[in-house]
Each structure stands twice: as structure tokens, then as C-alpha cells.
Amino acid sequence: MVNPFLSGKKIYLTPLSLKDVSSRYIDWLNDSEVCRDNSHAVFPNTKAKTVSYIKSLENSRDEIAFAIRWKVNDLHIGNTAIQKIDRINRSAELAILIGDKKYWGKGIASEVYELLIGYGFNTLNLNRIASGQTLANKGMIRVCEKSGMKKEGILRQVLYKNGEYLDAGIYSILKKEFEKTQKEIKKK
């Protein structure tokens, strides 16, 4: 493993850095299938934009981004972030992009959310962690539910992609709900 920050069964997370900038990574953000349910792939992504984003993370107080790496070969397969960190209200949002399509459907998003939720509550001392998903993104809705998140509501026509407006569900988990689940797991 290369500089693991958080480690799961199949994947581990490293701080996203300039070393991660590759043509593969840039291509993910321009791929309409990879970005079907997020705000990327609307305007062309470039190496300069990617480098600028990663440099902005160095001094950011409201976003922590990670490269998702496959343990077997250390391959960078996607990115994830805890973003919109509100230190006063102790809340944040999760985002994820599995850019390498060969790794879709392998439970990676669930593993990433498990790691980030634990990190958010146990290390960052957050009280609420949320995630927004388009209603068409059934896989990520299952990930949110499996992670213990509850549906709070729907943002109507919040995203415009491929000529249509999409609704998104907002899911969240509170620290007390997370702690209750962790106690139940330890009892088993």
C-alpha cells in the first residue's frame, strides 16, 4: 500500500495529491457515463483545472479529498471527499466518483462510505453527515441506506444533465444513530 490514510478490506484511501493527476483521472471527469449523476462532464476538464483543484485542497478548511486505491495493485480507481465541512454546526457531505468502470459493482462505494462516516464522526467530531443522490442512481441510494443514512427529502430538479432536470434525494446519518449501530455491531 502507498501511504494509506484509511484502509478497508478491498480499498484504501490516500490524500489526493498532484501525483494522482493522470490522463485517466482527467478522462473520468469528462466521461458522461462516469459523471451521469454528478455535476462533472458539463464543462471540459483539463490537466490545469485538475491541478488547480488539488492545490486548492492544501489550505481548505471545508474539504478533504482522497484517492481511492485498489489494494491488490495500488491502482487509483476513483476519488472521494468529505466536503462542505461546517465546523460550527458539525456537518458535512460525502461525494464519491468511481472513475475506473472495471471496479463498478464491487462494493467499493459502500466500503468508502463506511470509512468516511467513521472518520467523520470519530475523528472530525461531526454530528451530521449527508449525501445527495439523483433518484436514478439506485446503486448509490442503496449505499446510503446500507451506511445507515435516512432519506430526508427530495431536491426537485436540482441537476441538469443530458437535456433533462433531475431530482435528488438527500440522505443523512447523525452521530447518535452511528453510535447506536456501532454498539449493536459490537454486541454480535
pLDDT string in tens for the chain (188-residue length): 778 999 999 999 999 999 999 999 999 988 877 777 777 756 788 999 999 999 999 999 999 999 999 999 999 999 999 999 999 999 999 999 999 999 999 999 999 999 999 999 999 999 999 999 999 999 999 999 999 999 999 999 998 988 899 999 999 999 999 999 887 777 76
Fold of 6-187: Aminopeptidase (3.40.630)
- Concatenating the DSSP letter of every residue in the chain gives --S-SEE-SSEEEEE--GGG--HHHHHHTT-TTTTTTSS-SSS---HHHHHHHHHHHTT-SSEEEEEEEETTT--EEEEEEEEEEETTTTEEEEEEEE--GGGTTSSHHHHHHHHHHHHHHHTS--SEEEEEEETT-HHHHHHHHHTT-EEEEEEEEEEEETTEEEEEEEEEEEHHHHHHHHHHHHH-
6: closest CA among 62, 57, 80, 63?
80
Domain ranges of the chain: 6-187
Handedness of CA 134, 104, 112, 85 (dihedral sign): negative
